[in-house]
C-alpha cells in the first residue's frame, strides 16, 4: 500500500482533469488493483475543513507516512516572497510544500507548471511562480538543484499541458510496486520511457514531412500535409509519446490537424506567446525554420529540403486516407 497525497498550487486543474480520465490504468484500477491509497486529492478527497487540515498536518509532521507526494501547479512566491497569493488550508501553499517534501519518499511534479513554471511563469510572471526543481530550463526551482526526497530521488517530472493521464498512472504503479529504481530519468528528470522519442514518432503525417509537403492554409490539412513548415508544429523536436500512447486511445493533436506546441519541453510556451508566434513557424530570412528538427543544422536542412521537394512524388501531395 502506498499513501499518495496530491496538492494543487498555481494551476488550471488541467492535470487533475486529465488524471481522472486515465485508462491504462484508470484511477479506480490504481486503488483496487495496484495498492494506491489516495490520502487526499482536490477532486477526490473525502475530507474537508478541520478533518482535511489534520490529515495535511499529520503528513507534514510525519505522523502519517507519505509515500508519494504529487504536486500540480506552480509554487507561487509572490507577493514579495510571502507566498500569500496562494493560501491553502490557512497557510501559504509554499509552506505546505516545504514541509511535505521533507516527509515524502518520492515527489512527482505533474504538468508543466509544477515541472518548470509553465504558463503562469511567463514574463512578467505576476505571481512570482516557479516549478518544483526548475524555472523554465534553469535547474533549481523552489527546492533547489540538490534537493532529494527521502528515497534519494530528485523530483520526477511528468510534464505536459496537461500531461497524458496514463503517463502518470503508469509511473504511480511503478513507484507503488517498489520499482522506483527502474525508472530511468533524462537530464530534465523526465521518465525516459515516455520522453525519449518525439511527438513526430508515429505521426500519420510523417510521409508529408519527408517530402516537405505543407497544407496551404491552417485547418485545411486535416489529413494531408505536414504542419512543421508553416504552422509551427514542434513534433520533430519535442520529446513526447503523443503519437505512440494516443489520447483517449484514439487520437493526438497532429492526427486531428493541430500542430504540436511542444508542451513537454521546459521552454513551453515558446516565444512567450508573443503575437504571431503561435501556429506559425518562425523563420530566418523568411525561408529557413528558426527551430530545426532535433539534431539537424540549417545547412543540411536546406540541402535536404531542396532535394526532397524536387523528389516529392505526386501521391505525397494527395489525401491518402480515402474512405
Ligand atoms: S505534423 Fe508535426 S509531428 Fe507530424 S510529421 Fe509534421 S512536423 Fe512531424
Ligand atoms: S502533441 Fe505536443 S503540444 Fe500536444 S500534448 Fe503532445 S507534446 Fe504537448
SS3 56: helix
Which atom in ligand 2 lies closest to the alpha carbon of residue 240? 7
Rounded percentage of the chain residues whose pLDDT exceeds 70? 98
From the CA of 23, how far away is ligand 2's center (Å)?
A: 18
* Residue 199 burial by Cβ neighbours in a 10 Å radius (0-12, 13-18, 19+): buried
pLDDT of residue 278: 92
Is the beta carbon of 257 within 6 A of some atom in ligand 2?
A: no
**Does the pLDDT at position 321 exceed 80?**
no
Task: For residue 283, list its beta bridge partners.
Answer: 289
**Does the pLDDT at position 221 exceed 90?**
no
The ligand whose atoms approach the alpha carbon of 263 most closely is 2
* Element at 172 (helix H, strand E): helix 165-176
* Lining residues, ligand 1, CB within 6 Å: 199-200, 203, 205-206, 209, 226-228, 233, 235-236, 254, 260
From the CA of 162, how far away is ligand 2's center (Å)?
A: 9
Which atom in ligand 2 lies closest to the alpha carbon of residue 234? 2
**Does the pLDDT at position 323 exceed 70?**
no
The reply to whether the predicted model has a pTM over 0.85 is yes
pLDDT of residue 211: 92
Give the mutation target among 233, 239, 252 for probing the ligand 1 site: most ligand atoms within 8 A of CB: 233
- What's the rounded Cα separation, in Å, for the pair 168 and 128? 27
pLDDT of residue 287: 84
Q: Quote the strand ranges of 183-228, DSSP E.
A: none
Domains of the chain, each with CATH number or no CATH: 2-193 (3.40.50.700), 197-323 (4.10.480.10)
Q: Mind listing the pLDDT tens digit for each residue in 63-115?
A: 999 999 999 999 999 999 999 999 999 999 999 999 999 999 999 999 999 99
From the CA of 39, how far away is ligand 2's center (Å)?
A: 30
For all residues of the chain together, what is the average pLDDT? 95
- What's the rounded Cα separation, in Å, for the pair 73 and 111? 7
Q: Mind listing the pLDDT tens digit for each residue in 119-178?
A: 999 999 999 999 999 999 999 999 999 999 999 999 999 999 999 999 999 999 999 999
DSSP 132-144: SSEETTEE-TTT-
- What's the rounded Cα separation, in Å, for the pair 262 and 237? 8
Smallest CA-to-CA distance from 40 within 61, 21, 22, 54 is with 54
Q: Mind listing the pLDDT tens digit for each residue in 26-50?
A: 999 999 999 999 999 999 999 999 9
Q: What is the band of 222 on the pLDDT scale with cuts at 50, 70, 90?
A: low
State the sign of the Cα–Cα–Cα–Cα dihedral 141, 135, 194, 26.
positive
pLDDT of residue 319: 74
Amino acid at each position: 500500500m502506498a499513501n499518495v497525497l496530491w496538492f494543487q498550487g498555481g494551476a488550471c486543474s488541467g492535470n487533475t482533469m486529465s488524471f481522472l480520465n486515465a485508462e491504462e490504468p484508470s484511477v479506480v484500477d490504481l486503488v483496487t488493483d495496484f495498492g494506491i491509497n489516495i490520502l487526499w486529492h482536490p477532486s477526490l478527497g473525502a475530507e474537508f475543513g478541520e478533518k482535511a487540515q489534520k490529515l495535511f498536518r499529520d503528513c507534514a509532521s510525519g505522523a502519517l507516512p507519505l509515500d508519494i507526494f504529487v504536486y500540480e501547479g506552480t509554487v507561487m512566491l509572490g507577493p514579495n516572497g510571502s507566498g500569500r497569493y496562494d493560501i491553502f488550508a490557512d497557510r501559504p501553499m509554499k509552506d505546505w510544500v516545504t514541509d511535505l517534501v521533507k516527509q515524502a519518499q518520492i515527489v512527482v511534479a505533474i504538468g508543466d507548471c509544477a515541472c518548470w513554471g509553465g504558463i503562469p511563469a511567463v514574463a512578467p510572471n505576476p505571481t512570482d511562480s516557479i516549478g518544483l526543481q526548475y524555472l523554465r530550463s534553469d535547474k533549481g526551482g523552489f527546492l533547489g538543484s540538490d534537493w532529494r526526497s527521502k528515497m534519494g530521488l530528485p523530483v520526477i517530472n511528468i510534464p505536459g499541458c496537461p500531461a497524458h493521464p496514463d503517463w502518470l498512472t503508469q509511473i504511480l504503479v511503478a513507484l507503488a510496486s517498489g520499482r522506483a529504481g527502474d525508472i530511468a530519468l533524462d537530464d530534465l528528470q523526465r521518465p525516459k520511457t515516455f520522453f525519449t522519442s518525439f511527438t513526430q514518432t508515429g505521426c500519420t503525417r510523417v510521409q508529408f514531412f519527408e517530402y516537405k509537403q505543407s497544407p496551404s492554409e491552417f485547418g485545411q490539412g486535416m489529413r494531408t500535409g505536414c504542419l512543421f513548415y508553416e504552422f509551427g508544429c514542434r513534433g520533430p523536436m519535442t520529446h513526447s509519446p503523443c503519437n505512440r500512447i494516443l489520447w483517449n486511445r484514439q487520437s493526438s493533436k497532429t492526427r486531428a490537424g493541430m500542430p504540436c506546441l511542444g508542451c513537454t519541453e521546459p521552454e513551453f510556451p515558446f516565444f512567450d506567446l508573443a503575437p504571431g508566434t503561435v501556429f506559425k513557424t518562425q523563420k530566418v530570412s523568411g525561408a529557413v525554420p528558426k527551430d530545426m528538427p532535433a539534431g539537424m543544422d540549417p545547412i543540411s536542412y536546406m540541402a535536404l529540403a531542396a532535394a526532397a521537394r524536387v523528389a516529392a512524388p505526386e501521391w505525397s501531395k494527395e489525401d491518402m486516407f480515402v474512405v
